[in-house]
A = this chain, B = another copy of it.
């Protein structure tokens, strides 16, 4: 039996889209929310879209304790508050996959601009805030939430992953690649999240001009398994 994938903020567009895709891939998912009721509603929607889906809805701290690799898909505005709330819920050995992007939109600026984060990136801020022994990996900044949430759309793009240890990134890559059409790419150390998080405002700028939901691909990568 595969272990469940907790999604903190799983009622938001990105979290709900991931929940749908993982559920369709047969992976058990735990949707977390501030409200247990809204979490359960979101889980119900996934079950309606994917008959037989293994999905439940719980309050965020309960959800976070349910699996070894926890995805955090909250808006940047709410990232610190959520990390504070999870302090008692996360345990040493867990991975926290931070997907947040410090868009200037968080402070009523433009979505094509970003905020300077003191630690360098939202992911590095998360690493500073998680309990000892919990490791942050950054991923899933560039996949369009509306496209994820529309199961009639095929995906065909890369997911850059940043983190200190290759083994941690490999675990996250395995979950990412459960979703057909996504290829995980080792983008380097956690500090590279400073750049990877900026891909989102860049894609938003492209989206405005092309009226699309663009993604990112790295060309020229060899076919060999980068995680071995």
Contacts and interface: CB of A to CB of B under 8 A. Distances in A.
Interface of A: 112-114, 144, 147, 156-157, 160, 185-189, 191-192, 194-196, 198-199, 201-203, 205-206, 208-222, 226
A60 to B, nearest CB: 31
B187 A205 contact: yes
Contacts of A195: 114, 198-199, 201-202
A218 B218 contact: no
B216 A221 contact: no
Question: Number of copies of this chain in the oligomer?
Answer: 2
A222 B217 contact: no
Q: Is the interface of A mostly helix, strand, loop or mixed?
A: mixed
B214 A216 contact: no
A188 B211 contact: no
B209 A188 contact: yes
Contacts of A217: 216-219
A213 B103 CA distance: 29
12 contacts: A147-B220, A156-B219, A160-B202, A188-B202, A210-B222, A211-B222, A212-B220, A214-B219, A216-B218, A217-B217, A217-B218, A217-B219
Contact of A216 (B113, B114, B205, B219): B219
B187 A202 contact: yes
Nearest to A113: B191
